[in-house]
Amino acid sequence: MKRLIENPFFTKGFPQDNGVDKVSTDVEAVRKLLALCPKASRTPLASSIALAEKAGVKNIWFKDERQRMGLGSFKALGAAYVIADHASKAVTNNASADEWKKALNGKCYVTASAGNHGLSLAAGARLFGAKAVIYLSKNVPSSFADKIKSYGAEVVIVGNSYEESMEGAQKAASDNDWMLLSDVTWDGYDAGLKVMEGYLVAAAEAYEDCPEPPTHIFLQAGVGGFPAAMAAQARRHFGNEPRIIIVEPTKAPVLLESIQAGKEVEVQGGVSIMGRLDCKVPSTRALSSLAKTCTHFMTITDDDAENCMKELENEGLETSPSGGAGYAGLIDLKNYSESDLTNDSNVVIFLTEEPA
């Protein structure tokens, strides 16, 4: 069942967090380090008059992450940034290019991924001489596994869900003394905060390029790391004015359910075609941040996501159901009286990945 809820914790956060948001907004530090990575160039902010007219709003601006760093996803910013940070601590200020390439020789990074985070980790590890081992579930398309392997990483298939592949990655890290670099946070593990910090570049670029302040920002969500970074930066840039709406599959409403419960919960459900959003356990730090920064949480069906793909493709914005879920959320939000969408609304949407 589709739902839209207003966040009762907006601006305050969960009481148990005492109003503290641990998600960084230090984007300049991220930009400095990412400059070490090839192809770390700015991605465009596109617009579509036709889609704005269809949605009944003034403007829609699409932050196009489909070619970020040649990896096809915003997640190129995450793990690669963390690994660049590690490399910068292993070389001198005047290190040669060859020294940078060998900075992390002998080090091994391991993670679980639904595809895109694994690509970023594999690419970052290769840049600085480290080894990468990526755990994928059986539901991740083989095309992602092949692309990850093309960056020199080892791929291990474990389990039928992201959560099961993560258990495999955690065990491998413990058994082999490898560095677990997840984009998720949980009690006792906060390394994912650094990955989320890398995503800030996409947010800062988008908001700097907006011709006018947005009234609505739609952020698709899996475990919550991406939208937490985008929302935190939005509040830094625009204050509390824009409505920030989190969009999840009806089969994986883990953030919406957690907000309703006022704490982290695990959800059950089938497999969604929005594969990168099909997560049943939230990232704890991301959830806490979203509780403070976002105004609404909503769910969309697989059909909602699928039905929007052709509209985006016709405008040169072809993406996957996961990558276009923010636009699907906008289209569905018109069915709710509390949407506050008008002919004067300015909307920001993130195309988070290229088509699978």
The pair of three-digit structure tokens given for residue 66, joined into one six-digit string:
């489909």
pLDDT digits (tens, 9 = 90+) for 78-131: 898 999 899 999 988 788 888 999 999 999 999 999 768 998 899 899 989 999
The pair of three-digit structure tokens given for residue 187, joined into one six-digit string:
């009690």
Q: Around Cβ 263, how many Cβ atoms within 10 Å?
A: 15
Whole-angstrom distance, CA of residue 319 vs CA of residue 305: 11
The residues facing 346 across adjacent strands are 59
pLDDT digits (tens, 9 = 90+) for 94-107: 888 889 999 999 99
Per cent of the chain over pLDDT 90 is 73
Over its C-alpha atoms, the chain yields an Rg (Å, rounded) of: 19
3-state secondary structure at position 6: strand
Residue 21 has pLDDT above 90, yes or no: no
| C-beta separation of 126 from 102 below 8 A | no
Which position has the higher pLDDT, 356 or 309? 309
DSSP calls for 9-67: TTTT--GGGTT-------HHHHHHHHTTSTT-PPPPEEE-HHHHHHHTSSEEEEEE-TT
| C-beta separation of 334 from 70 below 8 A | no
Q: What share of the chain is helix, strand, coil (3-state, %, to 5)?
A: 45, 15, 40
b/e per residue 272-293 (b: at least 16 CB within 10 A): bbbbbbbbbbbbbbbbbbbbbb
- Domains in the chain, start-ordered, CATH in brackets? 4-26+41-65+197-351 (3.40.50.1100), 74-180 (3.40.50.1100)
Whole-angstrom distance, CA of residue 14 vs CA of residue 18: 7
Residue type, 233: Q
Whole-angstrom distance, CA of residue 156 vs CA of residue 163: 14
| C-beta separation of 247 from 220 below 8 A | yes
Residue 38 has pLDDT above 70, yes or no: no
b/e per residue 153-184 (b: at least 16 CB within 10 A): bebbebbebbbebbebbbebbeeeebbbbbbb
pTM of the predicted model, to two decimals? 0.90
Across 73-77, 221-225, 304-308, 314-318, least confident range? 73-77
Whole-angstrom distance, CA of residue 92 vs CA of residue 200: 26
Q: What is the pLDDT of residue 197?
A: 92
Q: What is the pLDDT of residue 29?
A: 87
Whole-angstrom distance, CA of residue 34 vs CA of residue 81: 6
3-state secondary structure at position 103: coil
Strand order in the sheet with 296-300: 4-6, 296-300, 243-249, 216-220, 346-351, 59-64, 45-47
pLDDT digits (tens, 9 = 90+) for 186-197: 988 888 899 999
